[in-house]
Structure 1
Amino acid sequence: MTSTVLEARATSPATSLRAVWPAILGLSVVFLVEMLDNSVLTVALPTITRELGASATDLQWITSGYSLLFGGLMIAFGAIADRYGTRRMMLLGLSLFALASLAVVAVRTPGELIAVRAAIGVTAAMTAPGTMALCFRLFDQENLLMRATSLIATVGLVGMAVGPTAGGLILQVLPWQTLLVMNVPIAVLAIVCIRRGIPSDDPAKRNTTPLDLPGALLGTVTLILTLWTATLAVEDGWGQAAPWLAGAGAILSAAAFVVRERRTAHPIFDFALIRRPTVSASLAYEAAMGLGMAALAYSVSLQLQLVWGWSPAQAALGNLPQVVVLLAVGPFVEKFAKRLGTQRAGALGAAAVVAGLLVYGLLGRYDYVWIAVALALTAAGMRVVSTIAGVTVMRGLPEDQTSTGAALSDTSQEVAGSIGMAVTGTIVAAAIAGSLTEIGTTGTGAFENAVTTATLVLTAICAALVIWAARRGSSVRDAS
């Protein structure tokens, strides 16, 4: 495609998704690999233990190292992308992501795999803010932006849901390294599509303020320590000193970050943006969605396999209602938002997540049908919220801060999800004596009571966030 065509597209936004299908395909596979990359490797942990001689601590860092750096660096890379070019950052990140993934073929020790996973986390954080920011660049019409966002989100969320199952099937015939090497052709496809379908960055639309490096460092440290605190709380429990020390470090670095950003002339993130009602309400909805995903992701698989004795394959099939609803609801999100208005539609979507959590918390222990209902409700709600909240955050920010805004949206989900996992894991660990693998013979009742308690606690937090967000959003006249 010639530069003339790309320049024309930059000044004439697309009038249909078909007109920019290479770009939509490229952004979809980027989001897919971001959602897949951590969950798909979990099924290979027993194999990695055998082949590399990995310890429990090694396995913890193999899984959490990626998440910590991915979640902790997104805002910093979003700010960099706003200044030096979102498309440029996306292409650089994808290239390095492919190289980091390919490096797994040289791994011979657990330490080397941890280093590879860390590199993948860093490069994935480089690409994440650009997904929504570049999609936002393609369209002027909000219905098209919502339709494109809905399609991209469907690819990612369905990929996340089926990732472990697909990974298990791949392991039946191929080595575990394949789960990371398959990132390479995906990244190459994304690079080709984005280069072909998205115009080059316009220097006139970049953020021209100096990059606040101390602020970026403090923000990154705060997020990494927050995510690490949640991870340590699940893995080691609050009886150990590590999560308390990490939590204290997160609080201190957060305080230093706030002081720095309020005093510097060019903050990496302007807190005034969060005070915008549409932005703050959407971030609260995103956080509620993250909490809901964490509650079900942690509890349902454990309940089906360890309490009810289902096989991994049966448990994977048990999650099908979530996948089916994610696919089925997608085409209707735009019409739903148009009929009710984005604020009301977002509130109802978030309310469906709360309702699903409530059904699971109160009734999920009695029969699978209630789990299916809970999965369907939360999937429908998440489908609506992820689309509407993402678009609303982007519309509520200046054009030269769209990458930062997209990173903020992703980070709110990531942090909320980690907190949700920590809450659930802490309550379950406090109620269960011994290993989780012994639940089926020694602790079924205690486990189910703990899951009920944890789910209801998270439901209450989600409900509070949704109510606050709905009231906050209602203070602004719905443009649609």
Structure 2
Amino acid sequence: MKDDLAVRPGRTLAAVALVQFMVSLDLSVVNVGLPRIAAGLGFGAVDLTWVIHAYALTFGGLLLLGGKAADRYGRKRILLLGLGLFALASLAGGFAQEPGHLVAARAVQGVGAALLAPAGLALLTATFPTGRARVRAFGTWSATNAAGGALGVLLGGLLTEYAGWRWVMFVNVPMAACASALAWRGVAAGPPAARGGRPDVLGAVLATAGMTLLVFGVVRTDRHAWTSPATLTTLTVAAALLAAFIRVETATTREPLLRLGLFANRSVAGANAYTFLIGAAMTPSFYFVSLYLQQVLGTGPARTGLMFLPFALAVVAGSVLAVTFSRRLAPRALLVVGGLLGATGLAWFGLISPGGAFLTDVLGPSIVTGAGFGLCLGPVTSLATLGVASHETGTAAGLLNSSRQIGASIGLAVLGAAAHRRGGGTATPTTPTTLNDGYALGLSLGAVLLAAAVLVALTVLGRSTPSARIERTEDHDPHPARSSGRP
């Protein structure tokens, strides 16, 4: 039976792109408003970080489960469920009257995002399985994904300064409503994947608990050192749970949460490693540049947001160029070129100075870094699901999002700690000079991570991607249980 997901590919692309824009926007739109949020709700300096951490915990911890749910219960159904949760949590967060209310709302937002992000990416993969249409679709997706992150800083600054901090939460509601309308009318329901066996409940519990504890241990390093008993205990338990998950997945007779045979596909393995490093480099970069502009150069929130606009436009331009170049260059070549451009831009950012200015210290590296990011984001996302059987695309999408989220959490914790130590830590009073030194180190380390991503592209990813013939064979395998590694 022909898959009816491709009935309205344009509307599907619009819905998925808007969903990813909203998710990416939410990762950065709140950051600029944190000082006003603290003043408005009475957050303490330490507790305020949980406005970010609550979202990261549930988002990162539940992504694999969200991807599996999309495969098992239907991608459209899970997408709409995730959008509903995300919108309601955003509305509740905007009306929060106490710190606990906002933190709880952010946690539920993360649950919604963990459902809708892999479901949306799986829908895109199924709707555009091969050819130039796939390249264009993933180019559009990558542009909206990265532009959401960059424009989130701009929008967050403008909303915080001129409308109030509550609008950094309310802004998600109309976007979620539009995405739901597009998905409801433009995406055919399609039957869920065949349920070949009982779900692996134990594996789901182990993976979710292990990933949640991993993210929890990492994000709390702003309060507890890496060598502290609290951090070491948390990370050790997380590692034990994830090891037990791997053991269960190799021995279970049930339907596994994550078929480990996916990693035998070099595109899947390489794309996830590359994405992990990209997340570990780029997320801290937004953080450091935003703080450099505000705390070193003394720029206000609204102007800081406007200064991120060249980066967003460069990302869009890079994504368009990736579509154009993909007709002549293999995805691996685009990942190498994009990674090298991004590393060059972050190394340039590492030359910032306390007496710098936007035109001399920010504009040039923003354009170079943004263009590099745009060049690689679409190809790496496409590679992460290319050659994967249709009944596992949600799982592969959840895995990719997990790699990005965990990379971002670990990168921000590690690079943030290094920048804090270089800036004098808590032993000496902070000055624009010491802050600048810390941010410069963090940005330079980000360049090193992108260089490592280039090495992954050169060594792990093959010279050519899996053929369309192989992909079509897997997608139409009449024995899905056999192709998924189940007995």
- Structure 2 equivalent of residue 465 of structure 1: 453
Q: 1:38 to 1:192 in 2, by over 3 A?
A: same
Residue 34 of structure 1 and its aligned partner are, at CA, apart by 0.6
The root-mean-square deviation of aligned C-alpha atoms, in Å, is 2.6
- Structure 2 equivalent of residue 404 of structure 1: 395
Residue 83 of structure 1 and its aligned partner are, at CA, apart by 0.9
Partner Cα separation in structure 2 for residue 448 and residue 171 of structure 1: 25
Residue 179 of structure 1 and its aligned partner are, at CA, apart by 2.4
Q: 1:275 to 1:372 in 2, by over 3 A?
A: farther
- Structure 2 equivalent of residue 49 of structure 1: 38
Quick check: which one's helix share is greater?
Answer: 1
- Structure 2 equivalent of residue 428 of structure 1: 419
Partner Cα separation in structure 1 for residue 427 and residue 164 of structure 2: 28
From 247, 272, 277, the counterpart of 1:259: 247
Residue 425 of structure 1 and its aligned partner are, at CA, apart by 1.3
Q: 1:257 to 1:349 in 2, by over 3 A?
A: same
The share of aligned pairs that are identical, in percent, is 30
Q: Given that residues 277 and 476 in structure 1 are in contact (C-alpha distance below 8 angstroms), is that contact kept between their aligned partners in structure 2?
A: no
Partner Cα separation in structure 2 for residue 95 and residue 146 of structure 1: 29
- Structure 2 equivalent of residue 378 of structure 1: 369
1:242 is aligned to 2:194? no
- Structure 2 equivalent of residue 305 of structure 1: 294
Q: 1:25 to 1:435 in 2, by over 3 A?
A: farther
1:233 is aligned to 2:221? yes
**1:316-395 → structure 2 map (5 Å cutoff):** 316-361=305-350, 363-365=351-353, 369=360, 371-395=362-386
Secondary structure, counterpart of 1:339 in structure 2: coil
The one-letter amino acid paired with 2:418 is I
Question: Could you state the TM-score of these two structures normalised by the residue count of structure 1?
Answer: 0.88
Partner Cα separation in structure 2 for residue 336 and residue 36 of structure 1: 27
- Structure 2 equivalent of residue 3 of structure 1: none
Per mean C-alpha deviation after superposition, the further-off stretch among 156-165 and 447-456 is 447-456
Cα offsets for 1:77-135 (capped at 9, x unmatched): 11121111111111112122222222235532211221111111111211110111111
The one-letter amino acid paired with 1:462 is L
Q: 1:380 to 1:173 in 2, by over 3 A?
A: closer
Secondary structure, counterpart of 1:439 in structure 2: coil
Question: Could you state the TM-score of these two structures normalised by the residue count of structure 2?
Answer: 0.87
Secondary structure, counterpart of 2:327 in structure 1: helix
1:417 is aligned to 2:412? no
Partner Cα separation in structure 1 for residue 11 and residue 427 of structure 2: 46
- Structure 1 equivalent of residue 122 of structure 2: 133
- Structure 1 equivalent of residue 75 of structure 2: 86
Q: 1:105 to 1:162 in 2, by over 3 A?
A: closer
- Structure 2 equivalent of residue 280 of structure 1: 269
Q: Given that residues 319 and 378 in structure 2 are in contact (C-alpha distance below 8 angstroms), is that contact kept between their aligned partners in structure 1?
A: no
Uncovered stretches (5+) of structure 2, i.e. residues with no partner: 469-487
**1:21-170 → structure 2 map (5 Å cutoff):** 21-104=10-93, 106-170=95-159
Residue 142 of structure 1 and its aligned partner are, at CA, apart by 2.6
1:10 is aligned to 2:4? yes
Residue 170 of structure 1 and its aligned partner are, at CA, apart by 2.1
Q: 1:252 to 1:319 in 2, by over 3 A?
A: same
Partner Cα separation in structure 1 for residue 426 and residue 302 of structure 2: 22
Residue 63 of structure 1 and its aligned partner are, at CA, apart by 1.7
Q: Given that residues 285 and 350 in structure 1 are in contact (C-alpha distance below 8 angstroms), is that contact kept between their aligned partners in structure 2?
A: no
Q: 1:272 to 1:76 in 2, by over 3 A?
A: same
- Structure 1 equivalent of residue 207 of structure 2: 219
Q: Given that residues 277 and 475 in structure 1 are in contact (C-alpha distance below 8 angstroms), is that contact kept between their aligned partners in structure 2?
A: no
Partner Cα separation in structure 2 for residue 177 and residue 449 of structure 1: 33
Q: 1:210 to 1:374 in 2, by over 3 A?
A: farther
Q: 1:350 to 1:207 in 2, by over 3 A?
A: farther
Partner Cα separation in structure 1 for residue 126 and residue 227 of structure 2: 48
Q: Given that residues 267 and 465 in structure 2 are in contact (C-alpha distance below 8 angstroms), is that contact kept between their aligned partners in structure 1?
A: no
Q: Given that residues 233 and 243 in structure 1 are in contact (C-alpha distance below 8 angstroms), is that contact kept between their aligned partners in structure 2?
A: yes
Q: Given that residues 237 and 429 in structure 1 are in contact (C-alpha distance below 8 angstroms), is that contact kept between their aligned partners in structure 2?
A: no
The one-letter amino acid paired with 1:464 is A
Q: Given that residues 9 and 199 in structure 1 are in contact (C-alpha distance below 8 angstroms), is that contact kept between their aligned partners in structure 2?
A: no
Partner Cα separation in structure 2 for residue 309 and residue 322 of structure 1: 20
Partner Cα separation in structure 1 for residue 49 and residue 161 of structure 2: 24
Residue 331 of structure 1 and its aligned partner are, at CA, apart by 2.2
Cα offsets for 1:357-409 (capped at 9, x unmatched): 33333x34485535433322222222122101111111121110101111111
Residue 475 of structure 1 and its aligned partner are, at CA, apart by 5.8
Residue 239 of structure 1 and its aligned partner are, at CA, apart by 6.3
Q: Given that residues 156 and 305 in structure 2 are in contact (C-alpha distance below 8 angstroms), is that contact kept between their aligned partners in structure 1?
A: no
Partner Cα separation in structure 2 for residue 49 and residue 437 of structure 1: 25
The one-letter amino acid paired with 1:388 is P
Residue 269 of structure 1 and its aligned partner are, at CA, apart by 0.7
Partner Cα separation in structure 2 for residue 221 and residue 457 of structure 1: 30
Secondary structure, counterpart of 2:197 in structure 1: coil
Partner Cα separation in structure 2 for residue 324 and residue 438 of structure 1: 37
Partner Cα separation in structure 1 for residue 428 and residue 378 of structure 2: 37
From 165, 177, 185, the counterpart of 2:166: 177
Uncovered stretches (5+) of structure 1, i.e. residues with no partner: 1-6
Q: Given that residues 64 and 395 in structure 2 are in contact (C-alpha distance below 8 angstroms), is that contact kept between their aligned partners in structure 1?
A: yes
